[in-house]
Every structure is written in C-alpha cells, then in structure tokens.
Structure 1
Amino acid sequence: MIDAIDKAAGLTPQDQLYAARRFRPEFVSGAEQCRDAVLQPASDQGLSSALRLALAQRIAALNNDAALVAEYRELLAAQQPDATLLALAAGETELAQPLAALARQADRVTLTPSLAEANDMALLAEAGLNNPQIVALSELIAFVNFQTRVAAGLRLLRSL
C-alpha cells in the first residue's frame, strides 16, 4: 500500500526505496497513523479537520514542498473551507485571532525553530487556545515538518 510519504516522494511499489521503507513496516504504518491522528483525530480538541489541513498546506508551502502543498490543497478543498481558512493555507499573515496566533506559531516553528520560546505558548493561550489545543497544534506542526523532510530525503535518494 502506498502511504502519504510514498506519494509525496513519488515512490511506487516498483521503486527500490519503496521496498527499503518496508524493511521497517512499523515506521511506514506509524507515520501513517501519526498523519491520521494529527489531521483527523477521534477528538479534534476544537481544531477542525479543515483548520488542520489549512495549517498543513501552509507548513508544506513554507518547506517548498509542491507535492504536499497540492495534496493538502486537494484535501482542504474537499472540506469546503471558508475564505479565512483559505487565507491561512495560502500564507496570509493579516488574520484575526486565533488564526493569527496559529499561523505565527506554525511559521516560527517551521522557519526558525531555534527562536521558539516558552512565551509562544502563552501567546497561544492569550489567543484563546487551551492546553490540549496547544498540544494538538504542536503535534500537527511537528508531523508536517517531519513529513516534508522525509519526503525530501527520499526524493534526493531517488535521484541518485
């Protein structure tokens, strides 16, 4: 079965890297389970799937990952998002709270993780997020950044 990372990297079952990933099937299934958990969890903690997909598209764009941007754009479109979520996904910075805080956190952790501080969590709380939402946001940001890096690495290996 082709998972989201295979798809993002352009791998098919005929590729050696596809087979190599299956030497550790728990990593393949684990990454897919993480993806499901951050994008469409059983309990969304008040962060809708559409919001999560908009943030995922934004993070993929910050990482210059055209394949993942396209995938997340397609998944987001199926959710019929409103204009504010489309603006968030497109990288807009002039957003109302709490979207402005979500965007700022996603951008900071993606582009300059060394500048992330404990005070950033306080800013999220001031914007109205509770602790479970802050954790869910952090998990989403971490996963999409992980996914873009793994896909980029696989694309690089594939090109050798």
Structure 2
Amino acid sequence: MMDAMDKVAGLSPEDSVFKARRFRPEFVQGGEQCRLSVLQPAQDQGLAVDLRLALARRMAALNADQVLMDDYDAQLLALDPSEQLLALAQGETKLDEPLAAIARHVDLVTLTPRAAQASDIERLVQAGLNNPQIVALSELIAFVNFQTRVATGLRLMRSL
C-alpha cells in the first residue's frame, strides 16, 4: 500500500526504493501516522486543518519542493480557504495577527532553526497562541521539514 511519502517521492510499488522502505514497515506506518496527526488531528488545538495545510505549503515553498507545494496546494484548495490563508500559503508576510507571528516563526524555524530563541516563542504568546497551540505548531514545523528532506532523499535514491 502506498503512503503519502511514496506519492511525493514519486515511488511506485515496482520501485526498489519503495520496496526498501518496506523493510522497516514501522517507519512507513509511523511516518504516515505522524503526517495525519499534525495535518488532520482529532483535536486541532485551535489550529484548523486549512491553516495547517497553508503552513505546510509555505514550508514546502521555503524548501523549494515543487512536488510538495503542488500536493499541499491541492489539499488546501479543496477546503476553500480564505484569502488570508492563501496569502499565507504563498509566502506573504503582510498578514493580520496572529497569522503574521505564525508566519514569521515558521519561516525562522524552517530557514534558520539555529537562530530561534525563547523570545520567538514569547512573540507567539503575545500574538495570542497558547501552549498547546505552540506545541502543535512546533510539531507541524518539524514534520513538514522532515517530510521535505525525506522526500528529497527518496527522489535522489530513486534516480540512481
């Protein structure tokens, strides 16, 4: 069975890389469960699915991953997002709060994670996010950046 990572990496069941991933089925299953838990959680903590997808699309663009950008665009557009969320997804920085603070944080952690400091979390609090929302946002940032790196690696392996 194909998962989302196979899809964005361009794998098919006939590929040797697809088969190699199945040597560790717990990693395949765990990755898919993680994806679902951060993008479509049972309890969204006030960070709706359309916001999460807009942020995922933004991170895919920051990582220059066109395949993921297209995938997240399709998922986001299926939810009929607001103009603000479309702007967020497209990399806009002139946004209303709390989206502006969220966008700044996503960009910072995606592009220069070593530069992130405790004061960056405080900016999220000042913008109105609570602790569960900050944790959920951090999980989303971690997953999408992980996803872009794994997908890139799998594509490279497939091309060998």
Structure 2 Cα separation of the partners of residues 41 and 154 of structure 1: 26
1:57-68 equivalences under 5 Å are 57-68=57-68
Structure 2 Cα separation of the partners of residues 19 and 104 of structure 1: 39
Counterpart for residue 16 of structure 1: 16
Query: C-alpha displacement at 1:2, in angstroms?
Result: 1.0
1:20-31 equivalences under 5 Å are 20-31=20-31
Query: C-alpha displacement at 1:118, in angstroms?
Result: 0.9
Task: Return 5+ residue gaps in structure 1 as ranges.
Answer: none
Counterpart for residue 98 of structure 1: 98
Aligned length: 160
Structure 2 Cα separation of the partners of residues 15 and 78 of structure 1: 30
Counterpart for residue 117 of structure 1: 117
TM-score relative to the length of structure 1? 0.99
1:1-160 equivalences under 5 Å are 1-160=1-160
Q: Which string of whole-angstrom CA distances, capped at 9 and with x for unpartnered residues, describes residues 120-160 of structure 1?
A: 11000000000000000000000000000000001111111
Q: What amino acid does structure 2 have at the position aligned with 1:73?
A: D
Query: C-alpha displacement at 1:104, in angstroms?
Result: 0.5
Structure 1 Cα separation of the partners of residues 158 and 125 of structure 2: 43
Structure 1 Cα separation of the partners of residues 101 and 13 of structure 2: 41
TM-score relative to the length of structure 2? 0.99
Alignment RMSD (CA, Å): 0.5
Give the percent of matched residue pairs that are identical in Structure 1 and Structure 2: 67
Structure 2 Cα separation of the partners of residues 40 and 20 of structure 1: 27
